Amino acid sequence: MPGTLMADVCVVGAGPVGGTLACRLAAAGVETVLIDRAPLPPMAHPAFDGRAYAIAAGSRVLLQDAGLWDCLPDPPHPILDIRVTDGRVGRPASRLHLHFDHREAGGEAEPFGWMVEARGLRRALNAHFQTLPHLRVFAPAEVTVERADDFATATVHGGPSIQCRLVVAAEGRQSPLREAAGIPVTRFEYDQTGMVFAIAHDLPHNSLALEHFLPSGPFAVLPMAPSQDAETGGAPHVSAVVWTERTRMAETILALDDRRLAREIRRRLGDYLGEVRPVGRRWSYPLSAMLAHRYTDTRLALAGDAAHGIHPIAGQGLNLGFRDAIALAGLVVAAKANGEDIGSADPLMRYQRARRPDNMAMLTMTDGLDRLFSTNNPVVRLARDLGIAGVDRAGPMKRMFMRRAMGA
């Protein structure tokens, strides 16, 4: 249906960040067009993505404002406690650990976050797109973008041209719009792979998230709601595992049968969940980190993984992307209400100032944590265990970490 459409914002990339931002803008009456190169329905299929996101409290507000929270197919499971431990494979965790209880964080005693399955968020996005009168979605569709001082034009191949004030690049790590704008990036490669799958276990998790640091990388166990899933046979006690290993070792682990894999899990986890059983499929993701040198160009803003990618050690990658979406939506909605040009240099500069330092700080922290914990050096081990115990006793510092984990 060639022709020209007028819009305020064109978001390229309907992943969790671009899709949520588009819903948030459209819910506020901003005329928005969303374009993705891939077909959207298969993304909701169980085999598409095995990740489960730890959604921080701040990100939950974004999902509510976008109208997505109530569309999630399964109720998100709250994270009430977080335990950080240090150890070695086959040995009990160090007794010097860090325990965060959500009631100690101050304020309303909100959970630290909620576990949301990637495919659940996808189903909510796909369903909600249909209901927003200020949103037009083109997928699967290729797009060509031209940007000028006064406006940008996004031409959907075989479809209309969209004239808009602002284009948002949300196409993930390989963002073609970022590259076309000549924005350089700094990359860090980790020789690590993130393995993701679910486990059923005998004992309840009591809504506790565990981050167990091992020399080859962190081993995280995150509390999920009971499973009704036919693939898992239904299970009352279920957790999501995010297990980082050196890439060669990960290949071996992923090939283990369920019984051997369960044994390897117990060697790392100990017995706090009783007997464990891997359930469903296993996914793996090569790990790297990346930061764009600029987040903006003429009539262009980068958001989510197009702007930054971090190690999943703290489960914050999507939360950072959601914080981009919160900042960008706030600026766009305010500019529209005040009759300002929403894609002009001034709001874009404010967006970059609001988001780049925060993302850079999180990248530095997650990179530093990975390097600090991925070593067997006994001196470093002792120093970090003492550091963990020190933070556990230092009330204000501990509260600061807790509020940070909540996205406050």
Ligand X SMILES: Cc1cc2nc3c(=O)[nH]c(=O)nc-3n(C[C@H](O)[C@H](O)[C@H](O)COP(=O)(O)OP(=O)(O)OC[C@H]3O[C@@H](n4cnc5c(N)ncnc54)[C@H](O)[C@@H]3O)c2cc1C
* Intra-chain end-to-end CA distance of the chain, in Å: 44
Q: Does 278 bind ligand X (CB under 6 A)?
A: no
- Exactly one of 9, 10, 11, 14 binds ligand X (CB under 6 A); that residue is 14
Position of tokens 């486990």? 199
- DSSP per-residue string spanning 238-272: EEEEEEEEEHHHHHHHHTS-HHHHHHHHHHHHTTT
Q: Does 217 bind ligand X (CB under 6 A)?
A: no
Task: Choose the binding region for ligand X from 14-22, 88-96, 336-344, 355-363 (rule: CB under 6 A).
Answer: 14-22
In this complex, which beta carbon is closest to ligand X, that of residue 276 or of residue 318? Answer: 318
Q: Does 18 bind ligand X (CB under 6 A)?
A: yes
- Show the CA angle centred on residue 321, arms to residues 316 and 327, nearest 5°: 125
In this complex, which beta carbon is closest to ligand X, that of residue 117 or of residue 385? Answer: 117
Work out how close the CB of 396 gets to ligand X at its nearest, in angstroms, rounded to a whole number: 26
- Exactly one of 217, 223, 312, 407 binds ligand X (CB under 6 A); that residue is 312
SS3 112: coil
Task: Choose the binding region for ligand X from 7-15, 26-34, 72-80, 231-239 (rule: CB under 6 A).
Answer: 7-15
Cα–Cα distance measured from residue 242 to residue 283, given in angstroms and rounded to the nearest whole number:
10
Q: Does 218 bind ligand X (CB under 6 A)?
A: no
Cα–Cα distance measured from residue 6 to residue 29, given in angstroms and rounded to the nearest whole number:
14
Do the beta carbons of residue 45 and residue 117 sit within 8 Å? Answer: no
Task: Choose the binding region for ligand X from 16-24, 160-168, 345-353, 354-362 (rule: CB under 6 A).
Answer: 16-24
Q: What is the four-CA torsion angle of 213, 218, 219, 224, rounded to 10 degrees?
A: 110
Q: Does 316 bind ligand X (CB under 6 A)?
A: yes
Subset of residues 249 to 268 that bind ligand X, contact rule: CB under 6 A: none
Q: Does 211 bind ligand X (CB under 6 A)?
A: no
- Strand order of the β-sheet with 32-35 is 135-138, 32-35, 9-12, 166-169, 300-302, 296-297
- Exactly one of 86, 211, 297, 305 binds ligand X (CB under 6 A); that residue is 305
Positions touching ligand X (CB under 6 A) are: 12-18, 35-38, 51, 53-54, 143, 170-172, 176, 194, 196, 242, 285, 304-305, 312, 315-319, 321
